[in-house]
Amino acid sequence: MGKRGSGGRAAVLGLSKRQKKHLKEFGEEHPFYDKVSGRPEATQICELSDNSDKSSAESDSEVEVEPVPVYHKLLATLKTSPESESEDEEDESESEEAGESEIELGSEGSQEPEEADGGEEDKDEVPAQEEVTAKDTAEEALGEEQDDGVDASCDLSHGAIEEFTDVKHESEFSLETNFMEEESGDCDADKKESNSSQAFSQDPFKQHMDKELEEKEVEKMSTLSKTSSQIKWPRLGQLTFSSTLEKHTTLKPDKEFDVKQLHLHKPLESTWPKVNKQFLLPTTKPSDPSFTPLQRELFSIMNAYKDLFYPERKALTNGEEIRHAYCLHALNHVLKANAQVLSNNAKKRDQKPGTDSDDYRDQGLTRPKVLMIVPFRECALRIVHILISLLEVNDKRKIDVSNKKRFKGEFGFDPEEKPPNLKRPEDYEAVFAGNIDDHFRIGVAILQKSMRLYAPFYSSDIIIASPLGMRTVIGAEGEKKRDFDFLSSIEMLIIDQADIYLMQNWEHVLHLMKHINLLPLDSHGVDFSRVRMLSLNNWSKYYRQTLLFSALQDPQINSIFNKHCFNYTGQVAVRNVPLIGSISRVVVQLPHVFRRIEAENLTSVIDTRFQFFIDKVLPEYRDAIMSHTLIYVPSYFDYVRLRNYFKKEDLNFAHICEYTKKGGICRARRFFLNGDKQFLLLTERFHFYKRYTIKGIRNLIFYELPTYSHFYSEICNMMKATDSGVDATWTCTVLYSKYDAQKLAAVVGIDRTAQMLQSKKNVHLFVTGENEISAPIEEKARRNDEMSSIMTVHCYYILVGSFLTDQMSNAKLWNN
């Protein structure tokens, strides 16, 4: 840096007014106006009088050669009056604001890695002499973090904010540098508990994580098939226990148990009864005051660290009960794991130098332990609120939650944004409540008295994300910016509302399952002397517990549970069969024709169904008499295939899918209602997200059975919205194959499904839909002279009125 003279009279005359003012106040010219030569100059030491201590200190500090980050920190401490700021720097300040907006975007959990690292290339373009610009940027960036509470991992030397690292708050939330004494006042109690081998031997967490598998057992789990057994529980119903290891135990339901018997972490024993009080009925037994019957049986399986698949999660009824149960289990796991690390930190600090021991292996290769996959931001918001409530012992002992204001702003929902007079079914309102953005991810770091939201992934204990949010981080093969090392040591995977991912993009879930519990590509500063042997042996997937919750049973969801869950303790799946199908809720008089498709294997079903439809089904509806025909298509790929075929054949049709704009939807519905279009193609995803009532339906074709069984009755009941008086001409045709057994059982019931799958003939079912209560009637159904056989059945239906009542209706069933 050039010399700054005190200046002669000639030099002073050449200065501006602001430069003179700065010279008068500080005794030297502003550093911005220094002349920088191309060659380095030697350091000059000047002896000044005693009354110039301030100027001397500043000069010496600026002459010394220091690293850039320290120099920026020094400039940030300078006090500059508003009058001394130059008007010529307005353009630079605008560019700084633009840069700060990029920093804010980079610090968000939903930012993609490519954008988070994008500022690194622009670093070298900033001239080194623009020190004022660097100073203002540093001050404003620090001010933003203090005022808004935005914890961003900021490294001024790189000029970029990373999503996965955080240097500033690393020591505050690091498990390696904290101790039990600093973290909790209950250190003595924890030490007593840690010294009690009996308490540890009964703790399910210790039993699961401390078990050392042998290579023979691992080889057996990877090669042999699973053995299964069945048992019936009072609330969950039929359960299937499966395991590869020969010595696997079958759980028995605990009719009553105390919270203290569950080995919950200390604060959870007192907070859980208060948090869960809203779900308890007044008739709850005094001996079991903390859990509902459903929660008690679910948590007994979770606490045994077995994989769980529960396909009866309903957003309208038991959804929040289940969410509270798995939040309690996940938080209990995290608190125990962190307490073990902090306790071992204190022990290792007090041990004699030079003594090495393997007793302190208490970590994975990376810190994240729990991964929660949820479909919408509203779900993440509710999970965080539950975690906070479980950590707050009482109103006086509030935990410190950082970035709470930012979290509420990004994950909250303004009720005024909801369209007025929007009438939808109750289950729709329950699923799509709040903020329904499906692209997000957020890290949560938890210590006993503090919680940090928006924690970098490698400093987080819990990661809450959507499948799309995880896909954008993991990336695809061949991409330069991708990271999935933080998934290497996941000990608990919770996939909630898995059925909704079928409506979003199931490929994202499969992509996630392929990248979980893999060996990391980088060490990320881990202390290998503290890493568990199961992680070093790449056996983490055999210790990972997977909790899978869904509203239905689907082959794709079953595949996740059967092919991607390797827990050595075994798997538990709820396998209740539907006794009564959703066809019982059809309130219109409508003949249902179920036409069976014969396919050689599962891969050929798609082509066989399409060929069967265009050869045998569609010709029957080409006549003008069969107008107002709605074709319900669950798969978007089948929809595109049918749309292209209809265009090729020049058929008179309209089409609506989830990507159709509002104007196109209105036109298609109007043309179909007026009869201007004979056919209307409708996708299942459109019905899932919109739930519009399609008027004018006279003929209904289910190209495939719907994913959600209640969609069958909803679509059929749309016919009553047409006041045309032509009820006798209504028809409903359903295409199915033997591979649709689960969907078919959900529509017609398990008993009729068995009959339909055993017989290779088409099945015709006529439902009268009458509301009067009648005794079971045996009636022989005849189909003119072409009847080949007669079947007598009893049909039981449930009709929804002011209350649920068992209704028995007449039915005519015959075979072709």
- Report which of 163, 155, 113 is spatially closest to residue 460, judged by C-alpha positions: 163
What lies within 8 Å, CB to CB, of 135 at 6+ separation is 72, 75, 76, 78
The region, left, alpha or beta by phi > 0 then psi within -120 to 50, assigned to residue 538 is left
Angle at which helix 506-514 crosses helix 555-563, to 10 degrees, equals: 0
- Report which of 554, 574, 550 is spatially closest to residue 498, judged by C-alpha positions: 550
Residue 43 has pLDDT above 60, yes or no: no
Contact assessment for residue 382 and residue 324, using Cβ atoms and an 8 Å cutoff: no
Tokens of residue 35, six digits: 């002349």
**Least trusted range by pLDDT, from 199-213, 431-445, 648-662, 685-699:** 199-213
> Measured between alpha carbons, how far is residue 157 from residues 72, 171, 674 in Å?
9, 20, 67
Q: What percent of the chain is helix, strand and coil (3-state, nearest 5)?
A: 45, 15, 40
Query: The tokens 């996940």 sit on which residue?
Result: 330
SS3 594: strand
- Report which of 298, 327, 317 is spatially closest to residue 431, judged by C-alpha positions: 317
Contact assessment for residue 259 and residue 330, using Cβ atoms and an 8 Å cutoff: no
> Measured between alpha carbons, how far is residue 202 from residues 191, 261, 303 in Å?
17, 10, 12
Distance of CA 756 to the CA centre of its chain: 38
HSE-up of residue 438 (Cα within 13 Å, Cβ side): 14
Amino acid at 220: K
Q: Band the pLDDT of 414: cuts 50, 70, 90.
A: confident
What lies within 8 Å, CB to CB, of 15 at 6+ separation is 7, 23, 29
Tokens of residue 293, six digits: 């019957």
- The Cα–Cα gap between 458 and 624 comes to 64
Distance of CA 777 to the CA centre of its chain: 50
First to last CA, the chain: 97
Q: What is the pLDDT of residues 219-258, one digit of tens each?
A: 999 888 889 999 999 999 999 999 988 665 667 776 666 6
- pTM for this predicted structure: 0.74
Give the helix/strand (H/E) hosting 189: helix 187-195
Angle at 300 between CA 297 and CA 304, to 5 degrees: 150
Contact assessment for residue 713 and residue 590, using Cβ atoms and an 8 Å cutoff: no
Tokens of residue 543, six digits: 């210790």
- The Cα–Cα gap between 318 and 503 comes to 21
Give the helix/strand (H/E) hosting 453: strand 450-453
> Measured between alpha carbons, how far is residue 460 from residues 86, 369, 410, 493 in Å?
44, 8, 19, 15
pLDDT given for residue 283 in this prediction: 63
- Report which of 678, 679, 744, 734 is spatially closest to residue 707, judged by C-alpha positions: 744
DSSP class of residue 485 equals G
Give the helix/strand (H/E) hosting 434: none
Quickly list H helices, 64-130.
68-76, 90-107, 113-116
Q: Band the pLDDT of 393: cuts 50, 70, 90.
A: confident
Section 333-345 average pLDDT: 91
Query: The tokens 């609506």 sit on which residue?
Result: 656
For the beta carbon of residue 431, count every other beta carbon within 10 angstroms.
24
Section 408-413 average pLDDT: 93
What lies within 8 Å, CB to CB, of 538 at 6+ separation is 519
DSSP 752-795: HHHHHHH--S-EEEEE----S-----------TT----B----E
pLDDT given for residue 736 in this prediction: 95
Section 584-588 average pLDDT: 92
- Report which of 43, 372, 393 is spatially closest to residue 184, judged by C-alpha positions: 393
Residue 500 has pLDDT above 80, yes or no: yes
Tokens of residue 25, six digits: 């106040």
Tokens of residue 511, six digits: 């992509």
Section 749-755 average pLDDT: 89
> Measured between alpha carbons, how far is residue 579 from residues 293, 453, 798, 814 in Å?
22, 45, 12, 21
- Report which of 335, 308, 314, 344 is spatially closest to residue 446, judged by C-alpha positions: 335
Residue 794 has pLDDT above 80, yes or no: no
Burial of residue 53 (CB within 10 Å: 0-12, 13-18, 19+) is exposed
The neighbouring-strand residues paired with 228 are 242
pLDDT given for residue 284 in this prediction: 59
DSSP strand pairing (763-767 vs 811-815): antiparallel
Q: Band the pLDDT of 502: cuts 50, 70, 90.
A: very high
What is the length of the chain? Answer: 816
Contact assessment for residue 308 and residue 298, using Cβ atoms and an 8 Å cutoff: yes
Q: What is the pLDDT of residues 7-18, one digit of tens each?
A: 455 555 667 777
SS3 440: coil
Q: What is the pLDDT of residues 597-650, one digit of tens each?
A: 999 888 899 999 999 999 999 999 988 778 899 999 999 999 999 999 999 999
Residue 265 has pLDDT above 80, yes or no: yes
pLDDT given for residue 90 in this prediction: 41
Section 742-753 average pLDDT: 92
**Least trusted range by pLDDT, from 405-419, 465-479, 673-687:** 405-419
Q: What value does the mean pLDDT of the chain take? A: 76
- Report which of 326, 302, 300, 313 is spatially closest to residue 390, judged by C-alpha positions: 326
Q: Which residue has the higher pLDDT, 286 or 77?
A: 286
Q: What is the pLDDT of residues 106-133, one digit of tens each?
A: 334 443 434 333 333 443 433 333 433 4
Burial of residue 373 (CB within 10 Å: 0-12, 13-18, 19+) is buried
Query: Of the segments 184-198, 337-351, 765-779, which one has the largest average pLDDT value?
Result: 337-351
Strand ranges (E), 20-152: none
The neighbouring-strand residues paired with 243 are 227
Residue 747 has pLDDT above 50, yes or no: yes
Angle at which helix 636-648 crosses helix 605-612, to 10 degrees, equals: 40
Tokens of residue 466, six digits: 């959507």
- The Cα–Cα gap between 491 and 333 comes to 9
Tokens of residue 416, six digits: 């005024």
Longest pairwise C-alpha distance within the chain: 124
Strand ranges (E), 561-673: 571-574, 590-596, 629-633, 653-656
Residue 39 has pLDDT above 80, yes or no: no
Residue 816 has pLDDT above 50, yes or no: no
HSE-up of residue 352 (Cα within 13 Å, Cβ side): 2
**Least trusted range by pLDDT, from 98-102, 339-343, 402-406, 417-421:** 98-102
